[in-house]
Structure 1
Amino acid sequence: MSIFSKFFGSISAASEEDNDKDNISFPENNLSIDEQFIFNFKKNGGKFLYCESKEEVKEQFENILEENDWFESEVICYEPTLYGLLEENKLCYIKVTKPKFLFSGCENLIADEGSVLFSSKQIKQHKPNELPVNIIVYAKTSQILALKTDGLSAIKKKYERDYPTNITAIKYFEKAKEEDFTQYGSSAKNLYLLLLEDL
């Protein structure tokens, strides 16, 4: 059984007892990197869907489409490896004028911030505020790293000479309930993460 199953068992039990997510508290320094990412990502307002197989990824993707009534919609997607999932669900990704969401992979998932690290490989030259409010990210557990510096090092190693540009992290996944200076200049995104266990 994976560490995610253990972690989700404790979270779901806690959330049934108390629906207020602010009351869930874990000593972050005692968590593994995977658990720390999940905790921080959810604390930032991200919607997390853990998948043990590619079939589960397809199923969860369809659940998101159904929940938001996004079937047969326009989508921004720049990664050919993801086109198959879009085509299966009759989503248009060519000559898009009014996209409902961005469907994308990512470079890495950053545990200490609970953020998602993108580059021009996934979002071209778009700034976060130019992307749709709704984003679905497909990632793997092997992409979880402790710090943003680890993510930047991984990008450097992965691409060797053909470095991507526009490296950016999206961290806030819901509007701040009150004015928060740490979110100044950032645009909150409604972000779903489809995380495939690959370790």
Structure 2
Amino acid sequence: MSLFRKFFGSSNLASDEKKETEISKALIEKSMAIDELFIQNFKKNGGKFLYCENSEEVKEQFENILEENDWFESQVLCYDLTLYSMLDDNKLIYNKTSTPKFLLASCENLIADQGSILFSSKQIKQHRPNELPENIIVVGKTSQIIGEKTDGLSAIKRKYITDYPTNITTIKYFQKVKEEDFTQYGTSAKNLYLLLLEDL
């Protein structure tokens, strides 16, 4: 690069546009890498992943999960008003029992480097992970995939400026450990399905 270009910038608009295009491509590739990293780690943790292109596919996959597990006419725990219609459509009883078959919830974020799901009191109230049903169905969005847990905490601070949620926790293990693993001490494995809705 010449000394004049260094001080005065490039006068060639075509090269500037090319650089912007390359930067955009790099950002897209980085974004795709985060998506792929999340899916890989999530599956490695034992999670069941179902990709959905639209809300109709979310409902269809939800019904497939109910059929696969014979959860029709089951009792369900759900605190998200936006998900009640899926329960009503399938005539499921929710929030009226102390022994629900599964939890239906949205989430705060999907953490790529851990393959985990970040929840707050907005989705699970004050329940600790070991107090939740063994079976969980999460409806998440591709826009909720982030790199690390610290990014998730920052996103929560930005999202809830005045009504900051409590009970912020992640669930990471989605299958029983075959051998004793001290890294999972104090955690409870969940049978977790993720319905991931494409919204980007």
Residue 114 of structure 1 aligns with which residue?
Answer: 115
> Where has structure 1 moved over 4 Å in runs of 4 or more?
none
Q: Show CA shifts across 1:135-171 (max 9, x none).
A: 0000100000000000000000000111000000000
Query: 1:164 is matched by which residue type in structure 2?
Result: P
Deviation (angstroms), 1:98: 2.1
Residue 139 of structure 1 aligns with which residue?
Answer: 140
The percent identity for this pair of structures is 77
- In structure 2, C-alpha distance between the alignment counterparts of 1:124 and 1:100, rounded to whole Å: 17
Residue 67 of structure 1 aligns with which residue?
Answer: 68
Residue 22 of structure 2 aligns with which residue?
Answer: none
- In structure 2, C-alpha distance between the alignment counterparts of 1:120 and 1:98, rounded to whole Å: 20
Q: Show CA shifts across 1:27-82 (max 9, x none).
A: xx9x7000000000000000000000111101100000000000011000001110
The alignment's C-alpha RMSD in Å is 1.1
- In structure 2, C-alpha distance between the alignment counterparts of 1:65 and 1:96, rounded to whole Å: 18
Residue 17 of structure 1 aligns with which residue?
Answer: none
- In structure 2, C-alpha distance between the alignment counterparts of 1:44 and 1:187, rounded to whole Å: 13
Residue 152 of structure 1 aligns with which residue?
Answer: 153
- In structure 2, C-alpha distance between the alignment counterparts of 1:162 and 1:55, rounded to whole Å: 31
Query: 1:58 is matched by which residue type in structure 2?
Result: K
Secondary structure in 2 matching 1:34: helix
Match status 1:173 vs 2:163: no
- In structure 2, C-alpha distance between the alignment counterparts of 1:114 and 1:145, rounded to whole Å: 10
Query: 1:123 is matched by which residue type in structure 2?
Result: I
Pairs aligned (count): 170
Deviates more, 1:188-197 or 1:89-98: 89-98
Query: 2:160 is matched by which residue type in structure 1?
Result: Y
Residue 125 of structure 1 aligns with which residue?
Answer: 126
Query: 1:36 is matched by which residue type in structure 2?
Result: L
Query: 1:137 is matched by which residue type in structure 2?
Result: V
- In structure 1, C-alpha distance between the alignment counterparts of 2:75 and 2:136, rounded to whole Å: 13
Match status 1:184 vs 2:185: yes
Query: 2:88 is matched by which residue type in structure 1?
Result: E
Residue 81 of structure 1 aligns with which residue?
Answer: 82
> What is the TM-score of this pair, normalised by structure 2?
0.83
Unaligned runs of 5+ in 1: 1-28
Secondary structure in 2 matching 1:33: helix
Asked if the contact 1:74–1:97 (Cα under 8 Å) also holds between the matched residues in 2, the reply is: no
> What is the TM-score of this pair, normalised by structure 1?
0.84
- In structure 2, C-alpha distance between the alignment counterparts of 1:98 and 1:167, rounded to whole Å: 23
Q: Which has the larger radius of gyration?
A: 2
Secondary structure in 2 matching 1:186: coil
